[in-house]
Structure 1
Amino acid sequence: MGIALVTGASAGLGLEFAWQLATARHDVVLVARDEGRLTRLAGQLEAAAGIHAEVLAADLTDRADVERVAERLRSDERPVGLLVNNAGLGLNQHFVSGDLAAEDRALELMVRTVMALSHAAAGAMVRRERGAILNVGSVAGLIASGTYSAHKAWVRVFTEALAVELKGTGVTATVVAPGFTRTEFHERGRIDTAHYPAIGWLDAEDVVAAALADVRRGVVLSTPSLRYKAASALLRLAPRSAVRTFGGYRRALLDEALEAPAPDA
């Protein structure tokens, strides 16, 4: 894979991607907003794994910053062989009553930025006749639960279409669709997970290992764990009315979380 560029590298799955790639002896380009956190991580990776870690601080909801990252992907100097589009956020709100500006930021981050960086990476990789793009989706993309589901559904279909277009070029596209994963994601999004079943949780280490193994094999749709493979198959086969009913259950959990008093109330 050569050099890997990971977005959202300072926390959650992105942090795990950075560590696993570094320990597999890949140099990394770390992208996130918090430059201080990235710099500390770069030092830890270099000391522990003996690789080179490049820091690229960027707000991926800002188009000028996205273009800076895209330029790094297009560069033939220390070329990037793997792009991991991991950055994302959770919106703990309903669409109709929620903040539209927050919805815009989420759409920019999880849809347009994925498209823009994939375009930059694919162009450079096809020219070199090698490379891989890994987009982080979610099992949520198969259900109907807010705009997060819509964004992740777009990521899945986009990646499949990209894989079709890239066939025969030496470049691959993979989308990983994990279920609930133990990371900082839910805490940072202020999402109450108390009602989520314990059996549904995956470890970030296992999700990332499965995703990278599938990238190496050229798999297009990567679903970590047998339980989520089975759940995904059921969701694809189920009538959409049943899928919407499940989305209604998720909405009820969100209603309960939003109505609960703040911790310091």
Structure 2
Amino acid sequence: MSDEKTTTHFGYQQVPVHEKASRVRAVFDSVADRYDLMNDLMSLGIHRLWKRQAVELAGLRRGQRVLDLAAGTGDLCERFAGIVGADGQVVFTDINAAMLGRGRDRLTDSGLVGNLYYALANAETLPFVSDHFDCVTIAFGLRNVTHKQHALDEMFRVLRPGGRALILEFSQPVAAPLRRVYDLYSFTVLPALGKFIVKDADSYRYLAESIRMHPDQETLRAMMEQSGFERCDFFNLSGGIVAIHRGYKL
């Protein structure tokens, strides 16, 4: 029998808690070079619409400070930097050095400098002062965190009073027929794409499994409330395949 205090899930596997972060890191080391291409192929480009909706819900204004966790190749940061302007601050973080480097190179090549800062950081132990950011976001990253509640606690801590957190993440389709189609797609098409594009079917099999192990919409909202967030709500996109959760520090 596995000990919940010493093991956690990595997809459908149970692994020692101290190993999960390194296993997740290995997944993203493997896919970093083709990450953007795979996102477009897997979602048929719809991930761009999901991220656009998250940016709109963030409600950012010029001069505000934003922290983006698990920022990947910087899709959200790129948009945030333009909104908050030269007087604002966007902090791009990722636990994976390969993803952080790729994102930094991409944004630098795009000419985005000045209000963008980069940090290699674990969402569970953020190296930032309390009550600092107007908005904290994490897109398609929370499901990979070992202790999700710790990450939510940290997001709450670094937000200033009046600030808000947004979590864009794969979730649970609301209709049974959609769930069946989605399962078929996830466990057959995704690994096949991974094998063909990045020569790595296992990483995309993990992706499908990690989505199923992630808390559903109502459970994640309750977890946010446990961390202290108020006025928590969520917005289902694409029938619940993806959801955006939002909560405020009041």
TM-score (ref. length: structure 1)? 0.43
**Bigger radius of gyration:** 1
Which protein is richer in strand relative to its size?
A: 2
